[in-house]
Structure 1
Amino acid sequence: MSVYQFSAMNIKGEEVSLSQYEGNVLLIVNTASNCGFTPQFNELQQLFDLYKDQGLTILGFPCNQFMNQDPGTNQDIQEFCQLNYGVTFPMFEKVDVNGESAHPLFQFLSAQEKGFLGLKSIKWNFTKFLINKKGKVEGRFAPATSPLSIKKQIENLLHQ
């Protein structure tokens, strides 16, 4: 299996097959608008600007499962991200990333690459999954990991 077998609703409510990103390196992130890590939107946008022409796509999935840190509507979230951080990378509808109602994509991602102490569950907002051009998970990065600190891994995948 690969991430290309999944689809999700974008922030405008349109279904998007992730197969449209086949051949790209992806960084899939569960985001939140009211989190201590929210300023990472700046670095995510910097990475997108730096590498989008080389084949990097960042996919943002808002999540409200962690201390109610993204309670707004999808429209509120989109406006917040654009106005405060200039986000131009694809954003999707709010999803759950853990539990029975977790989006199938995040069930797949967390099963492929386990996190802290070998746990599958996602611990907090801004967990990042790096995906190679074939749709396979290459790495999982903790919320505290700066997006810019994984530039080398991204560059390596872009040049494969």
Structure 2
Amino acid sequence: MTTSENPAPRGTPPPAAASPPWSGAAPAPPPPPGYGQPMPAPPVADQFARPAGPVGRIRSTGMMILLFFVTLGIWAFVYYYLVHEEMKRHSGEGLGGVFAVVIAIIFGLVNPFLLSHEVGQLYERSGRQPPVTVLTGLWFFPGALILVGPFIWFVRTNRALNEYWAGLGAR
């Protein structure tokens, strides 16, 4: 047996067939630089950068519900302003307090969805699984039809926000 009869070792690609000189076909262009080399890994350190803004306050869920009833619902606007403003200062993203109150006044049913979404975004930006999302707002509406839906929404959303702040050292 001669070496010309031995097939190429396994895993070796077959030699490229050169086009014959009489075919008129142009030779194949050289492969682009880096072709055949593994792709570099994506940067991991900056993928989930921690927001640099100040940490927000932890708010007692029971106290917030009590203030809502005592003020006949006015506290909801104060609460929306405070938490949206804290999240905006902390992450640099989001609605901010004034815009959140304007949306609450004009489009009241939208704000629970926005608040749950922004709290979930805080978790996602830090690389964690969000405990609340925009879908959590469904507890508010149509959850209001079962009367306890808005309370479930508020407890879940406020708890998630408090746990996020506590994870950053808030007391």
Q: Which category of TM-score, normalised to the shorter sequence, fits these structures?
A: under 0.3
In the superposition, the TM-score normalised over structure 2's length comes to: 0.26
- In proportion to residue count, which structure has more helix? 2
In the superposition, the TM-score normalised over structure 1's length comes to: 0.27
* Higher RCO, Cα 8 Å, sep 6+: 1
- In proportion to residue count, which structure has more strand? 1
> Which structure: larger Rg?
2
